[in-house]
Structure 1
Amino acid sequence: MTKTTVSLVTPHILSVIDLAKQAETGINVDWHLKDAVAKTYADLGHQFNARDLISAFIHGLETTAEQAEPRRKFYSGALRTAAVLATQRLNELD
């Protein structure tokens, strides 16, 4: 069975979305976001198209953050934080 980019990346985006929902309730999720990004790199970083997969992960987080309602600042902030963390590590793939 051939895995697609969507099937590889979506579970990682959804785990960060779950954390963002927890951030809305007042839970400090900073450490958990760092862990989620690290796990994403661990799972996807060994693929031959790792850069494309991580870029899709970052794009998915940024798009979801943009679509969040303005009053959901903690939700969108958590998503943006994860996107920044993932972007900072993107150069490690080279």
Structure 2
Amino acid sequence: MKATVVGLVTPHVLKLIDLARQAETGANVDWHVRDAAARTLRELGEQFNARELLVAYVKGLQSAIQDAGTRRAPAYMAALQTAFQLAVRELAKLD
């Protein structure tokens, strides 16, 4: 089985979307979001094509944020933006 960028990144983005949905219902997920994002950044950063994977991860989070628009609760957006900011910082380290 051949691993693809989509196959490696999508589960991580979906995990954060799930956490954002929990935040939308009132759950305190800040620590879980930060932990999931840090774990993702560590796992993707260990791959030989880490930069490509992190770019795809950032784009996936950015797309989820844009798709949510104003239709979602502020807590939902905050959870995704926290993960997005952490990923952007990590990506900047690779430059």
Same fold by TM-score greater than 0.5:
yes
Q: Where does 1:39-58 land on structure 2 (aligned, <5 Å)?
A: 39-58=39-58
Q: Where does 1:56-71 land on structure 2 (aligned, <5 Å)?
A: 56-71=56-71
Higher alpha-carbon deviation: 5-14 or 65-74: 65-74
Task: Give the CA deviation at 1:6.
Answer: 0.3
Paired position in structure 1 for 2:24 = 24
Paired position in structure 2 for 1:87 = 88
Q: Which runs of 5+ in 2 are unaligned?
A: none
Q: Which runs of 5+ in 1 are unaligned?
A: none
Distance in 2 between residues matched to 1:8 and 1:42, nearest whole Å: 13
Distance in 1 between residues matched to 2:84 and 2:69, nearest whole Å: 18
Distance in 2 between residues matched to 1:79 and 1:20, nearest whole Å: 6
- The 3-state SS of whatever aligns with 2:61 is helix
TM-score normalised by L of structure 1: 0.89
TM-score normalised by L of structure 2: 0.88
Q: For the aligned residues, what is the CA RMSD?
A: 1.5
Detail structure 1 runs of 4+ shifted over 4 Å in the superposition. none
- The 3-state SS of whatever aligns with 1:76 is helix
